């Protein structure tokens, strides 16, 4: 696994590319990641994917909650739907913050 020293792009392979696919930097700007850094990226890819799947499911929760609020059957139902929407939005913001933290720590690739 290799990282571009210009833009941080991570390349999987035995050798770095001739030019960075993201920024065009030459091969010489790549450094090979040590085993620990490569392992961290591999592991974080799994967790980051879980976060993104959960984020998408929360979008569905928000859509369903909006439908329930619009339906307005009775106040207790509306309260449940509003609470579901609020909690889903909080979780989405938490996921965004967590993923930003992963990116800042180099746990993304």
Alpha carbons 107 and 37: distance in angstroms, whole number: 8
Total count of residues recorded for the chain: 109
CA separation (Å) from 90 to 43, 51, 93? 25, 14, 5
**Cβ atoms 86, 58 nearer than 8 A:** no
Buried b (16+ CB within 10 A) or exposed e, 21-39: eeeebeeebbeebeeebbe
Task: Quote the CA–CA distance of 31 and 8 in Å, as a whole number.
Answer: 10
> What's the pLDDT at 108?
66
Per-residue pLDDT of the chain (109 residues; tens, 9 = 90+): 999 999 989 999 999 999 999 999 999 999 999 999 899 888 888 999 999 999 999 999 999 999 999 999 999 999 999 999 999 999 999 999 999 988 887 666 6
Q: What are phi and psi of 82, to 5 degrees?
A: -65, -40
């Amino acid at each position: 696994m290799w990282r571009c020293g210009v833009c941080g792009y991570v390349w999987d392979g035995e050798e770095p590319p001739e030019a960075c696919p993201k920024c065009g930097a030459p091969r010489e700007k790549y450094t090979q990641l040590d085993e620990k850094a490569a392992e961290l990226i591999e592991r974080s890819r799994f967790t980051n994917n879980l976060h993104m799947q959960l984020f998408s499911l929360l979008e569905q929760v928000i859509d369903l909650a909006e439908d329930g609020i619009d339906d307005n059957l009775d106040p207790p139902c509306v309260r449940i739907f509003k609470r579901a929407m609020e909690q889903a939005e909080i979780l989405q913001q938490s996921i965004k913050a967590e993923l930003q933290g992963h990116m800042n720590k180099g746990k993304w690739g």
